[in-house]
C-alpha cells in the first residue's frame, strides 16, 4: 500500500511537470470545477481560471527538475497528498528558481484522481 | 469562508511552531494514531512514533520564523490543507535553515482538528 502511494505520487508528478513543460494547456485535464490553486499567495478556483493562470505565466517555456517527492494517503476515501521540491529553469535566466508545491489529489466519481488542492511557492 | 480558512490555518501554524520551540513534547496533542509524518523522506506513523521522532531531533532548542502560510479547504468534510515556508534557527548555527512543510488537518469525531498528514523538507 505504501509503495503504491509512492508510485501514484511519482507518476502524477512526472505527468504533471511533463505537461507543464511541453503542453501547458493540457494541464486542464488534471483539474475540476472544485479545484483550488494558490500560486505565490494568489487564490484561484476552478479549472478555467486555473488553466488561464498557468497559461498566462510570463514565460513560454520552462523546465522543471524535481528534487524530492513525498506522498501519503490523505484519507480512507482514496485521496493522496503529494509534496514536491525542485527547481524551474526559465529561458534566459542563468540560475534556476527553487520551488515547493503541494497537491491534494482526490478521486472523481469515476475513480480517477484530480487535483483538488494545489499550492505553489518559490523558495527565496 | 475563505477568510475563516486562512484564520484557522494561521492559528494552527502559530500554535504548532510555538509548541515546537517552547514545549516540544506537547506537540503530541496535535496528532492521532492515524497521523502520518514524512520527515526529510523518513516515514513515521502514529502519535507515539511521531512524538518520539520530534523529541529526538538532534537539537534541544530552535526557533522557527514563518515566511508564508497558505491554506485551503481540503474537502467538504471540514479538513484543511496548510502549506508553510520559513526558516529554523538552530543553536550554534550562524545561518538559519530554510524549510517547507505541509499539513493536512482533519476533524476528529468531536470536531477538533488534528494533523492527519505532515510532510517536512529542508530546502537546499
pLDDT at residue B78 in the model: 85
Q: Mind listing the pLDDT tens digit for each residue in B30-62?
A: 999 999 999 999 999 999 999 999 999 998 899
Task: Name the phi and psi angles at B22, rounded to 5.
Answer: -120, -25
The CATH number that applies at residue A54 is 3.10.450.50
Would strands A63-73 and A80-89 be described as parallel, antiparallel, or unpaired?
antiparallel
> Which residue segment(s) compose the domain that A65 sits in?
2-120
For residue B24, which of B51, B47, B63 has the smallest C-alpha distance? B51
Which residues in chain A touch residue B123, judged by CB atoms under 8 angstroms apart? 85, 98, 100, 123
A87 touches chain B (CB under 8 A): no
Nearest to B102 among A2, A68, A102 (CB): A102
Q: Mind listing the pLDDT tens digit for each residue in A46-93?
A: 999 999 999 999 988 999 999 999 999 998 778 999 999 999 999 888
pLDDT at residue B20 in the model: 97
- At residue A102's C-alpha, the angle toward residues A97 and A103, to 5°, is 130
How many CB atoms within 10 Å of residue A98? 18
The span from the CA of A98 to the CA of A55, in Å, is: 20
Residue A85: alpha-carbon gap to chain centroid: 11
Which residues in chain B touch residue A67, judged by CB atoms under 8 angstroms apart? 124
Q: Mind listing the pLDDT tens digit for each residue in A108-121?
A: 988 899 999 999 99
C-alpha grid cell, residue B69: 502560510
Check whether A1 has a pLDDT greater than 90.
no
Would strands A31-39 and A113-122 be described as parallel, antiparallel, or unpaired?
parallel
A66 touches chain B (CB under 8 A): no
Tally of domains within chain A: 1
User: Could you tell me how many residues make up chain B?
Assistant: 124
Rounded alpha-carbon distances, angstroms, from residue B63 to B21, B22, B67, B88, B102: 6, 9, 13, 6, 18
Nearest to B123 among A70, A85, A106 (CB): A85
ipTM of the complex: 0.94
**Structure pTM?**
0.95
Residue recorded with cell 491534494: A104
Check whether B124 has a pLDDT greater than 80.
no
The span from the CA of B90 to the CA of B59, in Å, is: 7
Residue A12: alpha-carbon gap to chain centroid: 8
Amino acid at each position: 500500500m505504501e509503495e503504491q502511494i509512492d508510485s501514484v505520487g511519482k507518476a502524477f508528478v512526472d505527468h504533471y511537470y511533463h505537461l507543464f513543460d511541453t503542453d501547458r494547456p493540457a494541464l486542464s485535464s488534471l483539474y475540476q470545477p472544485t479545484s483550488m490553486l494558490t500560486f505565490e499567495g494568489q487564490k484561484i478556483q476552478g479549472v478555467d481560471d486555473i488553466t488561464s493562470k498557468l497559461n498566462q505565466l510570463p514565460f513560454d517555456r520552462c523546465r522543471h527538475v524535481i528534487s524530492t517527492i513525498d506522498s501519503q494517503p490523505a484519507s480512507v476515501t482514496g485521496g493522496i497528498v503529494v509534496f514536491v521540491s525542485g527547481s524551474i529553469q526559465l529561458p534566459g535566466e542563468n540560475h534556476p528558481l527553487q520551488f515547493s508545491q503541494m497537491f491534494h489529489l482526490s478521486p472523481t466519481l469515476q475513480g480517477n484522481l484530480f487535483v483538488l488542492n494545489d499550492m505553489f511557492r518559490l523558495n527565496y
